[in-house]
């Protein structure tokens, strides 16, 4: 039972470089989301998706792009990394709330990103 899988677990980038954080889930969940967590703080929602082809912004979307071409995958792209994007990124998924989902989120183990 893989659940939510994030890759890579660790990444170091230089300012201005681009990269993609991968997220895949095998639970057939319609809803997927990305959070970032900075030291000593809670999680802030970056982007989310309610199904293939549908994405929307969360609390802190600037500097990040997402797409959802399949139910399983929800990659997060940093087009031009900045030191302020140094953080731990978490992907989460959930069954569709509109189908009597409870909103329970299933999290990946995180991707730790450092931007120099």
Partner 1 sequence: SQQGEEDPQALSIQEGENATMNCSYKTSINNLQWYRQNSGRGLVHLILIRSNEREKHSGRLRVTLDTSKKSSSLLITASRAADTASYFCAPYTGGFKTIFGAGTRLFVKA
Instruction: Enumerate binding residues for partner 1 (CB under 8 A).
Output: 4, 31, 33, 35, 40-45, 48, 50, 56, 58-59, 88, 90, 92, 97, 102-110
- Rg of the chain on CA atoms, in Å: 13
Mark out the alpha helices in 1-116 (DSSP H runs): none
Nearer to partner 1 among residue 17 and residue 67 (C-beta): 67
Distances (CA, A) of 60 to 25, 57, 64, 66: 23, 8, 9, 13
Nearer to partner 1, 14 or 40 (CB): 40
End-to-end CA distance of the chain: 36
Q: How far is the CB of 111 from partner 1 (least distance, A)?
A: 10
> What is the closest distance, in whole angstroms, from the C-beta atom of residue 107 to partner 1 in the complex?
4
């Amino acid at each position: 039972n893989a659940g939510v899988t994030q890759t890579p677990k660790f990444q170091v980038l230089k300012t201005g470089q681009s990269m993609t954080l991968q997220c895949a889930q095998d639970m057939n969940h319609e809803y997927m989301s990305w959070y970032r967590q900075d030291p000593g703080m809670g999680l802030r929602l970056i982007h989310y998706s309610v199904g293939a082809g549908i994405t929307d912004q969360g609390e802190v979307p600037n500097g990040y792009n997402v797409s959802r071409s399949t139910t399983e995958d929800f990659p997060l792209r940093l087009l031009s990394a900045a030191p302020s994007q140094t953080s731990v990124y978490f992907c989460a998924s959930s069954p569709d709330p509109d189908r009597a989902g409870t909103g329970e989120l299933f999290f990946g183990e995180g991707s730790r990103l450092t931007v120099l």
